[in-house]
Structure 1
Amino acid sequence: MPGEVNVTRRYFLPQLLIATVCGWLLLCLWGQPAVAAIDVTEAPGELNLSPEVVLLEDSDRTYDIASLPAENERLPWQASGQETLNFSFSSSAWWVQVDLTNGSEAVVRRLLELAMPLHDYLDAWLVDESGEVIRVWQTGNRRVFDSRPVAHRTFVLPIDLPPGETHRVVLRLDTHDGLFDATPLYLMDGASFLAKSQRELMAFSLYFGALLALLTYNLLLYVATRERALLHYVAYLGSFFVLMFIARGFAFQYWWPNWPTFNNQIVPLNIGVFILTLAMFTCSYLSLHRHSVWLPRVLYGAAGLCLLSAMPALWGHYGPLFRTMIPSAILLSTLLLVVAVWRCWRGDVLARIYLVAWCVLLVGITLYFLRVAGVLPYNLITEYAVQAGSGLEFLLLALGLAWKINQLKNEKLEAERKTHELQRQVNQRLEAEVRSRTRDLESANRQLAAMARTDPLTGLYNRRQFLTLVDEELGCRRRLGQAVLFVVMDIDVFKAYNDTYGHQAGDEVLVKVAALLKQHFRREGDHLFRLGGEEFGLLLEADTLKAGYRALERFRGSLEALRIPHQGSVYGVVTASFGLVACEDFEQVPDAQALYSQADQAMYEAKQQARNRIVVRNLLPENT
């Protein structure tokens, strides 16, 4: 049994000559690499075999299934360790082995799937314990579709394991021209394979159905409107649809199952056509001919280079083809991004939609090509990124086309409207000029009024507005019987700051202080003033003196927390002193100047008490 052979290989004793001879004879027949057999009765419904197999590179293509068992022990087999078999660009053939054992008392059927529809040549053998080949498969993308044992877009091999026996699956993977696609390898029971196939078929049906619906709808729109951008969109979407239908194996299964050579030739040629239609669509979608004479020529030239690099596919050359096509595609993609960014910078709404859509597709295509080149591993993201990105891209572009058609319609209406307006142009010119002058005058008056009310540096109310606004507020609160809370704030030793750091730095401090005031005092009744120099006034809307004091203390702490360096201050940073007056006896503060005087005296007391503090002058009744 294979399990016994594995035990013999690991634990054979040199002193037992008979065991050694028996082990050697079995190894010559069976050739088991140092990987344990997989018990299919204990394996999950869908098992990724890629990390479990062993690999052998056949650079000279000298091995065959007849000579392989006898030489197996001395061959450089290596454990895969890959989540997905990926040989990228390689001139060798690759052998893959895995042992499957049935520990049950009944025949077990499993399905081995190579989930890559574009693999060129696949030869497979099922070998029993005695080394006899009991089943052979020869299929691949370069052989007719009927060579596949299961009619499926990927390669599915049915394996029947008798009870209590171990069989080896041997695969030989080869390519026509040295380009391997990443090949996932799964082992499944029938129910799991059916469920997986149904999920994939549902997803691809929705995907291709959505693309086909977009294509049909926009083709009908082109017939109705004769807008060239719609025709280019249909060509672009149609070439992409065909490319995806081929790449996922559906075209070979349903369209041309007996033409494997054509199936392989059409893939790179369709990529070249897709890139050319992309350039055509971009030029018409963004109306590049209106903005530049040479730019469309550059895009067509790069696209033509991609199409030209696909021509070797007609003579059966594919490996070098992708080595030249990928740089050409990267060049065109870079140009498209630059053009889209340029048009976005010029305020083109269509370019913004195009940039988002193209970036989504570009990310998907980049991930896919990096996976083909072997830079990135095979996984759901790298395998299906093109589908996800393209679906979103075409939806966004369809939205942009609708916007473009509407824009063209508006431009046409505008042109018709201009013809009518020319008849009244002379009479309206004078009226428009008068309205324009009136608007300019009103705007100038508004600007002058704003300049008269606000401080140009900080954006706060100035001292003139302070006198007017506070007098109004005092009158209002006198009628309502409400207390008034007013603060005078002065930045500490600010003259020394200007002398040390310069007046420009001082202005920056004033701007920062004003911004911090706006952040802290945002209630509707809060009013902020720059009273002059480094002095500010705050008319607070607070329910009580304590609430006003707490709000002011929070601001003082925040100002200190800004940590604006100040060598002339004992605190080492910019601070401020505050005088807070609270009063509801308006006989003592009949106007803004009297209120300012009370708060200013309290502020100077704070200055005398080592600064960076709040001094309160409470003129409220004791029970308030």
Structure 2
Amino acid sequence: MPLDIITYPKAADDERAMYLWGGAYFGIMAIMLIYNTFIWLAMRDFTYFLYLLYLTAAGALQFALFGFGFKYLWPDNPGFNNEVIIFLTPFMQLTAVIFVLKFVDIENTGTKLDKAIGVTLFILVTLLTIVSLSLPYATVLTLGHIIGLSAVTAGIYIGIKGWMRGVKAARIFTIAWLANLIFIAWYLFDITGMVNATVIGGQGIAIGSIVELALLSIAFADKINQEKELRISTQQELLEVQLDTNIKLDNKVRERTQELEAVNEQLARLSITDPLTSLYNRRHFDKVYIDNYYEAFRYKKSIAILMIDIDHFKRLNDLNGHAFGDLCLIKAAQLIRGNIHRPTDLVARYGGEEFIVMLPDTVITDALNIAESIRKAFVSTIVSEGRHSEAMTVSIGVHAEIPIDRENWEKLLKDADDLLYQAKNNGRNQVAIAS
């Protein structure tokens, strides 16, 4: 083998240059490996894993070719370094072939010729990887260089076809393999003496692999972006369809909801309304009254109750018929409600011909005035229908108090009811209050 006699300073300069190239190469490889590992962990794309495998194999091969493996990892076993190199040479090509076939999706996009080339290269590098440790060093490297050149040429061919089909990532893919081919050829010409030896030529494989792997990383990222854009576009179309469907469904649901709310509102009104007089019913009155009684107790305010009963209603009903009796009840409701003006006041039909009025924040004198106005309204009103005509009078019991016991709300109702019967016993058509 050729020998050169050089000075120690020249040898030191050559070693520093080698370390400089090696440091730059492995620094770049480490950055690409870490960066793409994070991407693979985020995306879990199997093609990215194949790229990482190819990247690792290429870096490991260069680690052995630079002599760093022999120097740092197995310094006592020089023969092992050759075994590592002759194994990693075809193995790196195997990972490259598998990655490319997966990257271009040759199974679905390639022609029969493309698939035949891919299968042939896969079989050759697989066989060479398996038998590499049993063949002579020179034979493995020679076959590796031949298959490697063929694989790079096939990669350029596949890339150009994709480029012609308008695949954006294929342009960078083609340039990556073309750059690698140029540096491999330069390296081979350099070591065989066909061109003048240079530092760049001697590091051709390393430089070519860096350029190729960097460009493949860009091409792969571009391919991922294109697929992402396609997915986003498809998802956007589906989303628009979904949104349109949702809008129609929402409108339909809104219509049904509004109809249901209207029905529920009507049912709610019916559940608290007396159907004949349209006043509140007793159940609703009891609920609202208790809440107001609690509030009057809390704020120490007076609350008044008017118990109203139509005088001799049974006789009026029997003489004129139930239809006329119902008309009298409706008219009575209108007269009572016509004398109640505050939103907080509540008028309800308490049962039969009996009505009740709740007057929050009202003292006994004000309640008495309201009761008298109701009584006079009845006296001045005649109910007529056809040949039936009757005057109505009412008896009213009025009571008011400032609650001193929160739970004693029933007593106020009982006191008002007792006063109502007192008014009836005293001759009717009058208002009775506590003496």
1:290-369 map, 5 Å: 290-292=108-110, 294=112, 295-296=114-115, 298-315=117-134, 317-369=136-188
SS at match of 2:17: helix
- How far the C-alpha of 1:419 sits from its partner, in A, is 1.5
* 1:400 pairs with 2:249: no
Which letter maps to 2:140? Answer: L
Distance 2:189 2:158 in 1: 24
* 1:409 pairs with 2:228: yes
Distance 1:349 1:186 in 2: 52
Distance 2:3 2:42 in 1: 46
Q: Deviations over 1:558-611 (max 9, x none)?
A: xxxxxxxxxxxxxxxxxxxxxxxxxxxxxxxxxxxxxxxxxxxxxxxxxxxxxx
* 1:255 pairs with 2:73: yes
Task: Give the structure 2 partner of residue 422 of structure 1.
Answer: 241
Distance 1:315 1:195 in 2: 38
Are the counterparts in 1 of residues 176 and 215 from structure 2 also a CA contact under 8 Å? yes
Distance 1:331 1:206 in 2: 28
Task: Give the structure 2 partner of residue 621 of structure 1.
Answer: none
The unaligned stretches of length 5 or more in structure 2 are 246-435
Q: 1:318 to 1:377 in 2, by over 3 A?
A: farther
Distance 2:135 2:78 in 1: 12
Which letter maps to 1:341? Answer: I
Are the counterparts in 1 of residues 33 and 52 from structure 2 also a CA contact under 8 Å? yes
Task: Give the structure 1 partner of residue 63 of structure 2.
Answer: 245
2:31 maps to which of 213, 226, 229: 213
Distance 1:328 1:413 in 2: 40
Distance 1:238 1:372 in 2: 25
Task: Give the structure 2 partner of residue 271 of structure 1.
Answer: 89
Task: Give the structure 2 partner of residue 133 of structure 1.
Answer: none
SS at match of 2:74: coil
- How far the C-alpha of 1:361 sits from its partner, in A, is 0.9
SS at match of 2:197: coil
Moved over 6 A (4+): none
Q: Deviations over 1:69-96 (max 9, x none)?
A: xxxxxxxxxxxxxxxxxxxxxxxxxxxx
- How far the C-alpha of 1:318 sits from its partner, in A, is 2.2
1:142-181 map, 5 Å: 173=1
* 1:386 pairs with 2:205: yes
Q: 1:196 to 1:266 in 2, by over 3 A?
A: closer
* 1:225 pairs with 2:43: yes
Distance 1:362 1:424 in 2: 51
Distance 1:306 1:261 in 2: 23
- How far the C-alpha of 1:345 sits from its partner, in A, is 0.9
Are the counterparts in 2 of residues 353 and 396 from structure 1 also a CA contact under 8 Å? yes
Distance 1:403 1:302 in 2: 26
Task: Give the structure 2 partner of residue 555 of structure 1.
Answer: none
> How much is the aligned-residue C-alpha RMSD, in angstroms?
2.6
Q: Deviations over 1:121-176 (max 9, x none)?
A: xxxxxxxxxxxxxxxxxxxxxxxxxxxxxxxxxxxxxxxxxxxxxxxxxxxx5xxx
Distance 1:348 1:316 in 2: 41
Q: Deviations over 1:316-351 (max 9, x none)?
A: 512333343333333322222211111111111111
Identity of aligned residues (%): 23
Aligned residues: 244
Distance 1:344 1:242 in 2: 31
Which letter maps to 1:345? Answer: M
Distance 1:196 1:397 in 2: 31
Are the counterparts in 2 of residues 240 and 274 from structure 1 also a CA contact under 8 Å? yes
Q: 1:389 to 1:333 in 2, by over 3 A?
A: closer
Distance 2:186 2:10 in 1: 28
1:528-607 map, 5 Å: none
- How far the C-alpha of 1:187 sits from its partner, in A, is 0.9
Task: Give the structure 1 partner of residue 352 of structure 2.
Answer: none
Which letter maps to 1:232? Answer: L
Which letter maps to 2:222? Answer: W
Max Rg structure? 2
2:17 maps to which of 178, 193, 199: 199
- How far the C-alpha of 1:286 sits from its partner, in A, is 2.5
- How far the C-alpha of 1:302 sits from its partner, in A, is 1.0
Normalised TM-score (structure 2): 0.51
Normalised TM-score (structure 1): 0.36
Structure that is richer in helix per residue = 2
- How far the C-alpha of 1:358 sits from its partner, in A, is 1.0
Q: 1:249 to 1:269 in 2, by over 3 A?
A: same
Deviates more, 1:406-415 or 1:220-229: 406-415
Q: Deviations over 1:281-312 (max 9, x none)?
A: 21232333331274356324313313423555
Distance 1:382 1:282 in 2: 26
Are the counterparts in 1 of residues 55 and 213 from structure 2 also a CA contact under 8 Å? yes
- How far the C-alpha of 1:380 sits from its partner, in A, is 2.3
SS at match of 2:209: helix
Q: Deviations over 1:448-488 (max 9, x none)?
A: xxxxxxxxxxxxxxxxxxxxxxxxxxxxxxxxxxxxxxxxx
Task: Give the structure 2 partner of residue 481 of structure 1.
Answer: none
- How far the C-alpha of 1:421 sits from its partner, in A, is 3.0
Q: Deviations over 1:160-199 (max 9, x none)?
A: xxxxxxxxxxxxx5xxxxxxxxx5625123x444344233
- How far the C-alpha of 1:369 sits from its partner, in A, is 3.0
Are the counterparts in 2 of residues 303 and 332 from structure 1 also a CA contact under 8 Å? no
Distance 2:39 2:127 in 1: 32
Distance 2:50 2:147 in 1: 21
SS at match of 2:166: coil
1:275-290 map, 5 Å: 275-290=93-108
Which letter maps to 1:405? Answer: I
Q: 1:218 to 1:424 in 2, by over 3 A?
A: closer
Q: 1:184 to 1:284 in 2, by over 3 A?
A: farther
SS at match of 2:150: helix
Distance 1:377 1:289 in 2: 43
SS at match of 2:6: strand
Task: Give the structure 2 partner of residue 519 of structure 1.
Answer: none
Which letter maps to 1:351? Answer: A
Relative contact order (C-alpha < 8 Å, sep 6+): which is higher?
Answer: 2
